């Protein structure tokens, strides 16, 4: 299926982009922007922001929408990573940082301790920075989820990714729709003040009724912010699902209006909207600082 004209991606360039790239390289960090072939890389890096991916760049899961390399890291952990992340955040002068990770089913805690220590390290070096964590499901381990939440991130996101029916097709067999809802519910139970986020990809063959059910389910577990974006096949390979439908920008605006009716504090919807998205970050920053 040919991409419509509104899905043109601007190539990355410019001095700010080059500076972010150099800092990430020097501190030996990974970004989901690069690993997942994000279409917003140019926009975000060009404005001096990046989503830092911790716990390596090898994911133990193989979801059929994601370009991150998967395999078995065999328990390898770099305990210097939290400090390196905090130094990079300081050098880049970020006021808002998103920390995400690959899935690490090879670790007993799924990497929760490193996740939590990275949050604490960033906060120690940069007390005013807002920290958002986009976490895996940690195998549904409540203690691991609590470990991250109790480290004090301002925002905790976990993506449901798609509707219930398509979850077994789209996501790795170890993921589940209900487990993702449980993760988001647990975050609110551990700390009701934490802003929670989730993201849904569209164009995978879901129906409007299924999407509405998903939005209802997310609100019922207390999710504050939801993002709706177009699924884009990362590479032309049978490893990745084909696009079933390209939604128009007008359709995304309509879905944004519908999502607000469910009671979300903020909704971002558009072809290039992703879980880590600058408009969402601006809203969350204002809420955390008591402005919204």
Coil, strand, or helix at residue 132?
A: strand
- ∠98-104-107 over CA atoms, to 5°? 125
Average pLDDT, rounded, for the chain: 88
**pLDDT digit string, tens, across residues 233-245:** 887 778 889 999 9
Task: Supply the pLDDT for residue 3.
Answer: 81
User: How many percent of the chain have pLDDT more than 70?
Assistant: 85
The tokens 């439908």 sit on which residue? 245
| CATH fold of the domain at 15-288 | TIM Barrel (3.20.20)
Strand partners, 50: none
Task: Supply the pLDDT for residue 99.
Answer: 94
**pLDDT digit string, tens, across residues 181-205:** 999 999 999 999 999 999 999 999 9
Using an 8 Å Cβ cutoff, are 206 and 230 in contact?
no
State the helix-helix crossing angle for 208-220 and 249-260, rounded to 10 degrees.
40
Who wins on pLDDT, 14 or 52?
A: 52
Question: d(Cα 183, Cα 166) in Å, to the nearest integer?
Answer: 19
| pLDDT level of residue 19 (50, 70, 90 thresholds) | confident
Task: Supply the pLDDT for residue 37.
Answer: 44
**pLDDT digit string, tens, across residues 33-54:** 544 445 444 455 444 456 899 9
The tokens 């920053």 sit on which residue? 285
Task: Supply the pLDDT for residue 290.
Answer: 62
Task: Supply the pLDDT for residue 45.
Answer: 46
Residue 234: alpha-carbon gap to chain centroid: 16
């Amino acid at each position: 299926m040919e991409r419509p004209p509104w899905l043109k991606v601007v190539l990355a360039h410019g001095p700010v982009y080059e500076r972010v790239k150099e800092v990430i390289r020097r501190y030996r960090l990974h970004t989901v922007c690069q690993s997942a072939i994000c279409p917003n890389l140019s926009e975000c890096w060009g404005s001096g922001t990046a989503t830092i991916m911790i716990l390596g760049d090898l994911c133990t899961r193989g979801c059929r929408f994601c370009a991150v390399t998967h395999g078995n890291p065999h328990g390898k952990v770099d305990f210097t990573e939290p400090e390196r992340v905090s130094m990079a955040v300081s050098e880049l002068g970020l006021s808002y940082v998103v920390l995400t990770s690959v899935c690490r089913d090879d670790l007993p805690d799924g990497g929760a301790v490193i996740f939590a220590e990275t949050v604490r390290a960033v906060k120690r070096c940069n007390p005013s920075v807002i920290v958002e964590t986009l976490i895996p499901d940690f195998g549904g381990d409540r203690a691991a989820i609590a470990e991250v939440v109790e480290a004090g991130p301002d925002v905790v996101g976990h993506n449901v990714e798609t509707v219930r029916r398509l979850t077994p097709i789209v996501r790795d067999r170890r993921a589940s729709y209900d487990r993702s809802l449980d993760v988001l519910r647990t975050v609110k139970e551990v700390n009701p003040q934490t802003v929670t986020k989730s993201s849904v990809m569209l164009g995978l063959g879901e129906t409007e009724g299924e999407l509405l059910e998903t939005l209802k389910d997310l609100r019922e577990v207390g999710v504050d912010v939801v993002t709706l974006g177009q699924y884009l096949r990362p590479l032309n390979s049978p490893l990745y699902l084909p696009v079933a439908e390209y939604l128009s920008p007008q359709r995304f605006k309509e879905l944004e209006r519908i999502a607000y009716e469910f009671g979300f504090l903020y909704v971002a919807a558009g072809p290039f909207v992703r879980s880590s998205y600058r408009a969402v970050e601006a809203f969350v920053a204002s809420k955390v600082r008591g402005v919204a």
